[in-house]
Amino acid sequence: MVVGGSISAADLVVDLAPLVKGPLYLSQRGRNELLDAAFTLEWVVTKPPIQRFTADNGGTIEFEDGSTVENFDKIIFGTGYRLSYPFLTPDPVTTQNRLAGFYQHIFKIDDPSLAVVGQVSSLDFWVSRADPI
């Protein structure tokens, strides 16, 4: 089970779906439609948000619509994260979780010797990974 509706969840779906024995369940409250290439893969079953989960029946997940999935192995939350750079003053992280003062969210405009690696993903490259081989 993967939980999430944007880049973190889509990345997990693309990497995990071919490896699971049965369908890969994807629980979403909302979704980034630009990532539908990952979310609509044939072996992915989309479910509504999780209401609760228990250890019953090898693990049971109950969804907000009343449906359940039993005997699951793991739940992976791909629900994003909050950027944090406590060593930079002033804090460059905006309320929208972006990097202010960085060109393309990589190079610090005031100090081009400072670069942040890993904050930007190429959506075109990423979505092409969702195409089944």
Residue 34, domain CATH: 3.50.50.60
Residues 62 and 100 in one domain: no
pLDDT in tens, 19-42: 988 899 999 998 888 999 999 998
pLDDT in tens, 66-87: 999 998 888 999 887 778 888 8
Q: Of the residues 56, 77, 98, which one is the last residue of a structural domain? A: 77
Beta strands 24-27 and 44-47 are parallel
Structural domain boundaries enclosing 93: 83-133
Residue type, 36: D
Residues 68 and 114 in one domain: no
pLDDT at residue 17, rounded to an integer = 85
Q: Of the residues 29, 47, 77, which one is the last residue of a structural domain? A: 77
Strand order in the sheet with 60-63: 50-54, 60-63, 68-70
Residues 40 and 16 in one domain: yes
pLDDT at residue 48, rounded to an integer = 97
pLDDT at residue 125, rounded to an integer = 43
Residues 66 and 94 in one domain: no
At residue 2, does pLDDT exceed 90? yes
Residues 60 and 118 in one domain: no
Helix (H) or strand (E) run with residue 72 in it: none
Q: Are 3 and 77 in contact (CB under 8 A)?
A: yes
- Phi and psi angles of residue 32, each rounded to the nearest 5 degrees, phi first: -85, 110
pLDDT in tens, 102-133: 888 889 999 989 998 876 554 444 444 444 43
Distance between CA atoms of residues 10 and 54, nearest Å = 25
Residues 88 and 111 in one domain: yes
pLDDT in tens, 4-23: 998 889 999 999 988 988 89
Q: Indicate the length of the chain as a whole number.
A: 133
Distance between CA atoms of residues 116 and 118, nearest Å = 7
Query: Nearest Cα to 5, choosing from 55, 57, 80?
Result: 80
pLDDT at residue 50, rounded to an integer = 95
What three-state secondary structure class fits 56? helix
Give the number of domains in the chain.
2
Residues 60 and 8 in one domain: yes
pLDDT at residue 12, rounded to an integer = 92
Distance between CA atoms of residues 51 and 132, nearest Å = 31
